[in-house]
Amino acid sequence: MKIESQGKEITMSFNDSLKCPGLDRTLTVIPVEQPCPQCGEIVEIWSDEMKRRCAGCGMVVHNPNPLFAIPDPTMNESNPSAHQSRLDELVALAISLGASTATIVDARDIRVEDGLANLCREARCPNYGLSPTCPPHVKGPEWLRQYLKQISVALVFEIEASQGRMYSDRRRETGQLLHFIAAQLESAAIEKGFLIASGFAGGSCKNLFCYEHTHCRVLSKNGTCRHPGFSRPSVSGYGVNMNHLLKISGLAKNKDDAPHPASSSYGIVLLQGEK
């Protein structure tokens, strides 16, 4: 490249030219393949991205080694009131979206039991094996135990519906709402700066969203999920002891004492750290 300097024409190689300070970083961005912890599909995440949603099952897959410095997950401890207010906002969001109750629990209070996850197979749930969000396709209890080591808190929410509704055709709407709330809370938490937000919900997405289709598109055609913004992994398939969690969180109640018999469904969003 020729430029004029002090009346003389000088030749300047590309390397001598002034560069935007961010150019090197941009040029070194590369795609990194990360297996989805939910369905095993390979997710391509660019090295300057924090996360990307799995095209197969819709789970948010995080980049363990992004180009930029990972914010310190303990940062929130230096500003506990800001952290608490973000959690409060998520609880309020859950309620505004249709949850009957929602609360925050310490992730160490989540008990994971192989025996509970095995019930999906042994009791032969009619949805067993029909989607990547149910056993035997989910990673299961051992994976969750390891995953929980990086999780600090969980948002547990409940949708309470009358037994009349739960034993009618409208039961499916309640399950759909449960998955929708889990998915929305996930996105909202990431937007608020949480590093990890993973939603789980009761019920099978095959039964809730793809009941008119013979097969799940992910499992049958190795294709993409029809409802990535809704479908979330099954709580049961990971062996989460919900009875214990409800007791600890104060959400457990004696339904027999209720004036109108009701049934409850639950969802969980695991959360860690903030930017």
Binding footprint of ligand SF4 on the chain (CB under 6 A): 57, 131-133, 205-206, 209-210, 216-218, 225-227, 231
For residue 272, the minimal CB distance to ligand SF4 (Å) is 25
Place of tokens 């249709």: 98
The partner residues of 267 in beta bridges, in order of sequence, read: 157, 201
Q: Looking at beta carbons only, is 101 or 133 nearer to ligand SF4?
A: 133
d(CA 27, CA 50): 18
Strand 31-35 and strand 8-11: pairing? unpaired
For residue 222, the minimal CB distance to ligand SF4 (Å) is 11
Place of tokens 């214990």: 244
Q: Is 158 helix (H, G, I), strand (E, B) or coil?
A: strand
For residue 218, the minimal CB distance to ligand SF4 (Å) is 5
For residue 42, the minimal CB distance to ligand SF4 (Å) is 17
Q: Looking at beta carbons only, is 37 or 273 nearer to ligand SF4?
A: 37
What is the side-by-side order of every strand in the sheet holding 101-106? 101-106, 153-162, 262-274, 194-201
Q: Looking at beta carbons only, is 26 or 220 nearer to ligand SF4?
A: 220
For residue 82, the minimal CB distance to ligand SF4 (Å) is 36
CA Rg value for the chain: 23
d(CA 83, CA 240): 25
Q: Looking at beta carbons only, is 46 or 143 nearer to ligand SF4?
A: 143
> Which amino acid would we find at residue 78?
S
Q: Looking at beta carbons only, is 200 or 209 nearer to ligand SF4?
A: 209
Q: Looking at beta carbons only, is 249 or 265 nearer to ligand SF4?
A: 265
φ, ψ for residue 44, nearest 5 deg: -90, 115
For residue 238, the minimal CB distance to ligand SF4 (Å) is 16
